Structure 1
Amino acid sequence: MPKSKRDKDVSLTKVKKKTKESKVSLVEAIRVCVDEYKTLFMFTVENMRTTKFVQIRQEFKRDSRFFFGKNNIMAIALGRTPEDEYKDGLHKISKRLVGQCGLMFTNRPINDVIEYFANFKERDYARAGHEVDETITLSEGPLEHFPFSMEPQLRKLGLPTQLQKGVITLYSDFVVCTAGDKLTPDQSRILKLLEKTLATFRVTLIAQWTPERHFEVVGATKTKSKVPRTPTAHKTP
């Protein structure tokens, strides 16, 4: 019986070696950037969206480089302690690499970078697990913006619907979500069908490092206080 082409031995040692090499390569690339670029920013990302982050990369592609999502490797490259940091003050950046965050190396003026990210905010559809700060309610009556063929889908998502003369109709008010809710997959899907964007993609600069001044907290974070938002309610007819 001929041997199957799928019946092949895979060397796990080779796989591990390749992974290790990629990590070493990333460490080296970050350290090269420390030497070559004028400023290092550490940032966090809220409501990450790949397409929108690509947009930022394109904006800065001529004079900057980004590293995102591998906190442990980035911390090793910069150094975790004063004794093993690559250059003075970099271990203070490493300590803040928690959650969805990354590094931005740039030759662009510091104030230009800070201003850009302060103004870059884009709304998007909230995903399951996102905590909303708005209450969305659908009023009893026809949902004329939906084609009649979607009635079974809406009913499956929990909406109290029925067809009346070929028009999808709610036979009672329906609360899609309440301020403070963590969205379920069904709620997230309903909001997308209603074209309600309740999430905001933003990048927040936390700290910066330069060879001359070493580590600094980004100016905006020193005085910025978090003011609690008052939940708002929207009733969609």
Structure 2
Amino acid sequence: MPKSKRDRPVTLSKTKKKGRGHKESIVNSIREEIEKYNSVYVFSFENMRNLKFKEFRDKLKSSSRFFLGSNKVMQVSLGRSVSDEIRPGLHKISKLIRGDSGLCFTNLPKEEVQRLFNEFEEYDFARTGSIASEKVELKEGPLDQFTHEMEPFLRKQGMPVRLNRGVVELVSDFVVCEEGKPLSPESARILRLLGTKMATFRLHLVCRWSPEQFEVYKEGLDDSDIESS
């Protein structure tokens, strides 16, 4: 019996692309927040960890609102020039939304915001492609931190290991990673097993806008850079 054309598999994991309506919703939300808060900050981040950022955001939810997403959408929301900015001076911070950036709307005093951002630092395991901050080398001999069940997995990661009377043993010195070089998938897995954290999730304030003042915090930037960019 011929197969019906209606009998087609449906992928339940397939999701619709976020279209124009979603972008307009973000634009409207950002513009609404400008009327509610005293200050707007642009911040940059490195080694983003979503769970840790959520914790930081939740700690400030009574006084602040954060936005991450498309830089272009955030720029359009604020206005990219004097002619389309929604409040005087907002086009200046719009020009500094670059790379890994976000927006923070807040009613906190600027000294408190600076303290919170400067003190925020979370260590985590580095991911594939991250640059190793140090050389990690394992010496020949027993690896007591690993159980015998781990031996096949360690071998798959390229480690020269064997079982010696039920103990995992390294048959020769092994360099897990070299300082200043990108981590391979195998290196990242081994570092995680060793409990070695090389990634630091940080937030950096770039600039601040309020109806009374515009300030740049990032080194190497000033008003002339912003107006000419």
Q: Matched residues in 2 for 1:110 and 1:6: separation?
A: 58
Alignment partner, residue 212 of structure 2: 212
- Identity rate of aligned residues, in percent? 46
Which amino acid in the other structure matches residue 211 of structure 1?
Answer: P
The structural deviation recorded for 1:185 is 0.7
Matching residue of 1:148: 148
Equivalent in the alignment of 1:27:
27
Provide the residue aligned with 2:127 in structure 1: 127
> Residue in 1 aligned with 2:172?
172
Under a length normalisation based on structure 1, what TM-score does the superposition of the two structures give? 0.84
Q: TM-score, normalised by structure 2?
A: 0.87
CA deviation after TM superposition for structure 1 residue 132, in Å: 1.5
Deviations, residues 177-203 of structure 1 (Å, cap 9, x unaligned): 111111111110110011100000011
Q: What letter corresponds to residue 126 of structure 1 in structure 2?
A: A
- Structure-2 residue corresponding to 1:181: 181
Q: Whole-Å Cα distance in 2 between the matches of residues 37 and 19 of structure 1?
A: 28
Other-structure match for 1:136: 136
Contact 1:132 / 1:183 at 8 angstroms: preserved in 2? yes
Q: How many residues align?
A: 213
Q: 1:196 to 1:77 in 2, by over 3 A?
A: same
Q: Paired residue for 1:199?
A: 199
Aligned CA-pair RMSD: 2.0
CA distance in 2, matches of 1:144, 1:52: 32
Counterpart-to-counterpart distance in 1, 2:194 and 2:79 = 48
Aligned residue identity for 1:123: Y
Structure-2 separation of matches of 1:53 and 1:177? 28
Distance 1:178 1:119, change over 3 A: same
- Describe the superposition over 1:203-235 as per-residue Cα deviations: whole angstroms up to 9, x where unpaired: 11111100111x2113xx349xxxxxxxxxxxx
State the match for 2:50 in structure 1: 50
Give the letter for the 1:110 counterpart. Answer: K
Report the counterpart of residue 226 of structure 2 in structure 1. none
Once residues 190 and 93 of structure 1 are traced to their aligned partners in structure 2, the CA distance between those partners, rounded to angstroms, is 42
Aligned-partner Cα distance in 1 for 2:153–2:130: 22
Structure 2 distance, partners of 1:26, 1:144, is 52
Query: Which residue in 2 is equivalent to 1:161?
Result: 161
What pairs up with 1:44-123 in 2 under 5 angstroms?
A: 44-123=44-123
CA contact (8 A) 1:132 1:198 kept: yes
Measure, in 2, the Cα distance between the counterparts of 1:108 and 1:66. 13
Distance in 2 separating the partners of 1:139 and 1:24: 57
Three-state SS of the structure 1 residue aligned to 2:104 is strand
CA distance in 2, matches of 1:60, 1:209: 19
- Residue identity matched to 2:215: E
Structure 2 portions without partners, runs of 5+: 11-15, 221-229
